[in-house]
Amino acid sequence: MKILVADRISPIGVDLFKAETGFEVIEAYGSSPEQILDLVKDVDGIAVRSETKVTAEVFAAAKNLKVVGRAGVGVDNIDIEAATDHGVIVMNTPTGNTIATAELTFTHMLAGTRPIVQACARMREGAWDRKKFTGSELNGKTLGVLGMGRIGAEVSKRARAFQMQVLAYDPYLTEARAKDLGVSLAKFDELVAQSDYITVHMPLTADTKHMINTKTIQQMKKGVRIFNCARGGIIDESALIEGLKSGHIAAAGLDVYEDEPPAEDSELRSLPNLVVTPHLGASTQEAQENVGIDVARQMIETLKGGMVMNALNMPSVDPQVLERLAPYISLGEKLGTFSQQLGPEGIEKMIIRYYGKMAELETLPLTNAIQRGFLREISENVNDVNAPKKITRLGIQSEEVKISVHDDFNELIEVSVINNAGKTRSISGSLFGKQQVPRIVLIDGHSVEVNTDATLIVLKNKDVPGIVGFIGQVLGEDSVNIANMSLSRDKGEGFAVSVFEIDSVPSEKATQRIVEHEAIEKYRVIKL
């Protein structure tokens, strides 16, 4: 494995790479974009901070690249969409700077409560303004925390130590988790209206952009204090400035901005009741060392086939879970391949149903495997990273359904593909015996038992005598050997489904003879 360390990370992290057998480390700090393009041609991993830009051109040039690791949280310098297109995992290190950011947030809260920064500035000017710098106390106040991830939770812990009441707004926070953290769940409007202090700890998304704006500020208490050490853009800066100037907002603290750095003439730099810092959230010695060590450990684990941690463009799954899922993943991939080859033209929807014991498992890796199998014959360089995106780009909607019981099987995976005319084909599979051997067990509801490691002929024909003999004769004359077969009859419709495991693909002449037979309704050759 060849690792490019493009930006300076902790020397301990670099040493972790070097200590791995079979790893070659290239340290190329301060390289130009042109030099980076040359260096990445044969690397397996790239470790960066915020300086090096990992662009679409970089991903196109790095043919062996498997993972890009960001020593830190923000990934604005990495083209994640291009990474996904090329099947490259992008990961960050969100835990390394958790404490540093939480402590900076609390520093801003304290500075917004007691005007220490302003008083210090006046002292340096020779003044002694004791009466001018009367502050407030955190004790007994209500803190509203927007976002209760790792950093939000750490801020809340410190607020409780200061005897503050904590309200939390987070769409993914459960009552049980809130109780464990000692905070009270609140709706957004409730938190805005009831809080004396508000701190932001959410990612910047379409939903969170300017979530604090003129309207929400008007709903806040007069004298509210607002802090943002998360992402610029969550607070509408023009609305914040107006609130600070009017006095509706007593004080605020910012470490992040909509444009970084803010313009030299920005009012953010001159408001007396606003404390600003130059994006220092992760700027502690401990945090810098932690993120360097974390990125190295995560990249090594991924490149050695272990657990993928903190990936931004694929799910992180524990290796023990993957080991348990391994037989199902193999089955799922074959079902995906089968459904693509058997399915009708113009597929618009894929429904994946997990029955019985399957419904209790972590099924996202299985769904990825099914999508990967579906794309295997029709797309290049498919893996778990880019399969979901490639499926979406084909205009196929993917749906996952879990059902606790199946009438005939303890566990079953069913893949149904539906085209724009509503035509549906379905394939189901399960595992058999102590060896957990994968088998195809249903085709369009017809019971069969078929190996998943074979070339198959799938027929749907009128249930009349002589069809099996006819197929055997045609294949025999074409020197195609039949290894096994499975037959399912549908008495109600008068049709039968036959599956022949064959050693080689029939010739065009043999295929033509079969499809021209008046009793043959459907004929497909499936390569698994």
Question: Which residues are identified as catalytic?
Answer: 231, 260, 279
Distance CA 398, CA 220 (A): 42
Distance CA 321, CA 324 (A): 5
Check if the beta carbon of residue 233 is closer than 8 Å to that of residue 115: no
- H/E segment holding residue 219: helix 214-219
The one-letter code for the residue type at 449 is: E
Distance CA 427, CA 335 (A): 7
Burial class (CB in 10 A: 0-12, 13-18, 19+), 517: middle
For residue 137, the cross-strand partners are: none
DSSP H helices in 231-386: 237-246, 285-303, 319-342, 364-375
For residue 412, the cross-strand partners are: 355
Count H helices, E strands: the chain?
A: 17, 22
DSSP string, 85-98: HTT-EEE--TTTTH
Residue closest to 198 by CA, chosen among 157, 262, 250, 134 = 250
Give Cα 477 distance to the centre of its chain: 52
Buried b / exposed e across 238-254, counting CB within 10 Å, b at 16+?
ebbbebbeeeebbbbbb
Distance CA 82, CA 66 (A): 13
DSSP H helices in 66-174: 80-85, 98-113, 116-124, 150-161
3-state SS assignment for residue 152 = helix
Describe the crossing of helices 98-113 and 285-303 by its angle, rounded to 10 degrees: 150
3-state SS assignment for residue 79 = coil
Question: Between the CA of residue 163 and those of 156, 157, 176, 250, what are the distances in Å?
Answer: 11, 10, 21, 21
**HSE-up (13 A, CA, CB side) for residue 341:** 20
What contacts 35, CB < 8 A, 6 or more positions away?
28
Distance CA 504, CA 507 (A): 9
Buried b / exposed e across 288-326, counting CB within 10 Å, b at 16+?
bbbbbbbbbbbbbbbbeeeebbbbbbbeebeeeebeebe
DSSP string, 356-372: EGGGGS--HHHHHHHHH
